[in-house]
Structure 1
């Protein structure tokens, strides 16, 4: 295995696209592992003797641990080489998947999901900073889009395959099937990732200093509202499609596949169009996804229209990550790991709160209330972002 750095003589970064692809596969595995319960929500709830709302909290608990891990990773990892931190986190994901597949109780499931949350928080907190070290600055948006292409792949195939295979081999069999893929990814990390020394030491106080930047704090809150809106709806998409659209297992799998394939459209578009006027792009996720969710409320009984709305939602869901992480890489470029930690903590907290909020609305009222809550958060995000200018660092120019 190579331990060479990505910087040759002269200080110029030599693009390490193999390492970027390894990161992309890790993203795909993380997304598949984190959100597989969405496509398997109903059978998992039945198998563990819990309500659908309670089982949705399995996503929430991973988010809780991810928040803590993302805030502590730069301090706990200290001066450890970031390559080996990534390898360790991927190994933890492998252990978590095996624990989920073997879980005999709801408590065991939650413990396994907590371990996955540590992996999620640690990986995402460092991912953008790692990408910034693997390719030249001008290639960062493209590399981010490629890495988030792993998100599109997972969204395209994990949910529909999870739903379909879960009907054939059971939800445990689906989680067992993920383990060899993660093992391959672990080996790829060992071969492809260059040595990534940590550099200077970091402390929790550094995070506070970055968060005190007004423009960044505003952006963090906007990200929380945007992701919170998305996962208030997405966590409970299967019950919606079953109850409102009347989808059987086959139709459900097709609709989830449509949703996931739309992620490829978002990846393609973000790799080409994200990065210019980034301020104006920040409100697009909440605006487009909120409008699509509102459309589902009004027309959700029509499968064809539902599919069209899910295409819009899925494409923007992938683009949202590239938009906000490109914004972060440019506006906190002097402290990318700290900025990444705070961004991931905000996003994971939003996923947690969105799952809790949506589950409460579902259990107390109806699935329609869950989607309406998602729309309300989207409106709040758009209102906060405005033209995006207040989320740019001073002296950043016209974009």
Structure 2
């Protein structure tokens, strides 16, 4: 087991430990966090492939079943701040295990839910722990990493979430089609229990810094650099989900793909997500803000290219691969930006960032739907996302300029 992180020491593990010489035994803790991330990701997104079965079994239409996705996202948005306030002084490994317990109870309730209303309630209950788990997990990942590799550590934790999209969701769909949608939730429950055991065995104890009140933490969130970083998280999520929410009808109606071909394209996209997640961590550990600015510039370009590429299958697949790399290349750097700038409120800020990302999720889905409602075509959704990404690029460039001015005045 890794050494206990004393509350009196600096956030990073002291030089001379296994973690400081390379990830070493810290790799087991990161692997445990990644396994938990994978199980949570399957629990969150797996229902997307189960909607027809859920709708038929519970006697609702598919759009109403789709609200189970929205309900989860809103549970994340509101659950993060609420639980962050209640648990701000709790030892971090214990807190992660409590959050995992909520996932186990929630997914069990989903598997047993006899009707739509109780299934929705179980989904929202499960989601309450999401932001706190990923927020605290990201801080812990950075804490156990050696100097200069903190963002890579965060990206390794989020690898589980990307793999949930690449492998977990198709596997969950297969289980649900073969044994019924409830079987997928039972499988997620079992996997989450395995993750809990790994977290208990390999994640070190870690304490919030002593002497900082919750009021001081909230005040730290109002710093300009922190608010700008959270705005980047919201905007990147809006740009992503305003298009990705409608990816299936886009691929069918504009690109002309057969429905059975779409999972293979999404697999290519998922591979891009995984590569981008790891690459983004490495880039940010090298030069954080220049990397964030460059990635947003690349996102603007990819969204612009997606518009002419969409009607052509041979062009659409590689562009989607590049889209996956760029969009998830931003996740770990933005998370680390918030953790590094929210001095004295790292737990709270990291958790709030998860709520910010899911707020962008909900706004993005609404924004894309609103474009379609007022008469835009599916093909034109990337143009709206391009404008949002351009706004994010401007915010990122402004943040970098603030950093340089502060450094020059120091």
Displacement, 1:176? 3.0
SS at structure 1 position matched to 2:148? helix
Residue 197 (structure 2) pairs with residue 194 (structure 1): no
**TM (normalized to structure 2)?**
0.84
Change (3 A) 1:190 1:147: same
Moved over 6 A (4+): 7-10
Displacement, 1:87? 0.8
Asked whether the 8 Å contact 1:31–1:155 carries over to 2, the reply is yes
Asked whether the 8 Å contact 2:136–2:347 carries over to 1, the reply is yes
Listed as ranges, the matches of 1:1-399 within 5 Å are 4-6=3-5, 11-12=14-15, 14-15=18-19, 16-41=26-51, 43-45=53-55, 47-48=57-58, 50=60, 53-200=63-210, 204-362=214-372, 365=375, 367-368=378-379, 370-386=381-397, 388-390=399-401, 392=403, 395-396=406-407
**Superimposed CA distance per residue, residues 148-177 of structure 1 (whole angstroms, 9 cap, x where no aligned partner):** 221232222123334555544444433333
Query: Which one is further off, 172-181 or 369-378?
Result: 369-378
Match of 2:23 in 1: none
CA distance in 2, matches of 1:373, 1:102: 40
In structure 1, stretches of 5+ residues that fail to align are none
CA distance in 2, matches of 1:95, 1:298: 46
**TM (normalized to structure 1)?**
0.86
Change (3 A) 1:359 1:352: same
In structure 2, stretches of 5+ residues that fail to align are 20-25
CA distance in 2, matches of 1:250, 1:353: 29
